[in-house]
Structure 1
């Protein structure tokens, strides 16, 4: 999967997503865990007023995101957090409320993710996040993000519950799995775009398992012994404070703003050194 040297058909001056810096992965990791805990707190805890306010905020963030002409940290990461929360709930409802077996749920979301990526590549000739400069590519990007979050939730529940690995076992499994694309990419056996999307998908079950381990009761038969019992409310509040701080840093310092297609310089004060994928 590569860009084939194609120049993107730009409708925006700058890409609509952040560069793949350390800051990107830090906030991505945080949103995956926070999405799990916040989903449990809002849906399982029955906090319906907070849930409605969250939904309104997420819709507003998506409208803002699609109307901007370049990446901005607040709408982008608010939308990502919303996908994390509602993607978790979507997968849980399908599996635990509707009653579809977790292996089928995971397989279904895996096919959906692969299907979106295939359609995206066939349509645009690239899956690079540096090419998100048109409305169509941005739409494919967000569809991929939505499917991958739901897939990650189902995968985490599948390994912890159905396969009996428990939360600690799932953390270990996905912790090792996420190193595989990185190692293969470093040894030049895997294209960077492929490595990115593999790692992107795997951050979800890894950090959702970590969040579940932190918030689940000590004795929870459904998760191979449960967690350490900090509670969804505590983890969600602390995670949200950290999330707000990181997004504020990105908004002010702008370390993750990409160059425009063709090498147009970033705005003054935006540092160099992003990783191309």
Structure 2
């Protein structure tokens, strides 16, 4: 899909390869980070959800007040939607505990139906508002607010889907991650070789990065007896956080370089 110009009117990142790398890293970090607090540290899904939602609200406030794209702020909000989405999904599906108890949740089927309905309502409101679905053209508060509402719900839904595939479908972590990766490869092929709407393909891929992150995060962090690689939530979260910080630093450098180039083009006498 088209890339957004790097100017003050645009607060969302350009959709490039580095965008997808950071999106997958952030959503995978959301899975391991959410599990770290809720399960490993036994904070519980309810308390962890409140904490992550507070982080989301604060970081979103900074993002909405910004006048131009700020990589650190944007990706902090994305990571917050992923961690909050992880714990909220587990809260809905499993109940308020930390995974060591049973009962109290709606289960994957009812939880997914609830979240799909919520996401559908957001997109219907979005369509009725007259705002564009094309993220390269979102430049006002109403459009950006709808954008973040869709992201929060899609990341919560994606966690449910990823957990269902990993835990209940029989595919396991490897099979689930491979399945989602294949579907995303099909979407990529459709982008290059078909006339399917680029905006539709973007949102399909954007939503699917969350179950991919959920399955990959569990694959790396869960113990061997559960079918994972046994790196734990601490180690996996640290590695993903390093990748995300490195990508943000790269984004700042790229943004700064493009700004300098644009300014040079506007100076009389510059070639």
TM-score by length of 1: 0.81
Work out whether residues 153 and 208 of structure 1, in 8 Å CA contact, stay in contact via their aligned partners in 2: yes
The one of 14, 18, 21 equivalent to 1:23 is 18
1: CA distance, partners of 2:11 / 2:107: 37
Work out whether residues 52 and 84 of structure 2, in 8 Å CA contact, stay in contact via their aligned partners in 1: no
Q: Say if 1:196 and 1:89 are closer, same or farther in 2 by CA, change over 3 A.
A: same
Q: Say if 1:125 and 1:74 are closer, same or farther in 2 by CA, change over 3 A.
A: closer
Q: Which residue of 1 aligns with 2:259?
A: 267
1: CA distance, partners of 2:262 / 2:194: 30
How far 1:42 sits from its partner (Å)?
A: 1.1
Write the mapping of 1:241-252 to structure 2, written as runs, cut at 5 A: 241-252=242-253
> Greater RCO between the two (CA within 8 Å, min separation 6)?
1
- 2:226 paired with 1:228: no
1: CA distance, partners of 2:246 / 2:189: 31
Q: Which residue of 1 aligns with 2:267?
A: none
For residues 139-177 of structure 1, give each alpha carbon's deviation from its aligned partner in whole angstroms, at most 9, with x where no partner exists.
100001001101110001111212221111101211111
Q: Counterpart of 2:199 in 1: which secondary structure? A: helix
Q: Which residue of 2 aligns with 1:261?
A: none
2: CA distance, partners of 1:204 / 1:196: 13
2: CA distance, partners of 1:249 / 1:46: 32
Write the mapping of 1:61-72 to structure 2, written as runs, cut at 5 A: 61-72=59-70
How far 1:188 sits from its partner (Å)?
A: 2.4
State the superposition RMSD in angstroms: 2.6
121-130 or 69-78, which deviates more: 121-130
Work out whether residues 181 and 190 of structure 1, in 8 Å CA contact, stay in contact via their aligned partners in 2: no
- 2:102 paired with 1:96: no
Higher helix share: 2
Structure 2: runs of 5 or more not aligned: 2-6, 96-103, 264-271
Q: Which residue of 2 aligns with 1:208?
A: 214
How far 1:58 sits from its partner (Å)?
A: 4.1
How far 1:28 sits from its partner (Å)?
A: 0.3
TM-score by length of 2: 0.83
1: CA distance, partners of 2:52 / 2:42: 11
Q: Counterpart of 2:225 in 1: which secondary structure? A: coil
Q: Counterpart of 2:224 in 1: which secondary structure? A: coil
Structure 1: runs of 5 or more not aligned: 3-11, 221-225, 258-265, 272-277
Q: Counterpart of 1:219 in 2: which secondary structure? A: helix
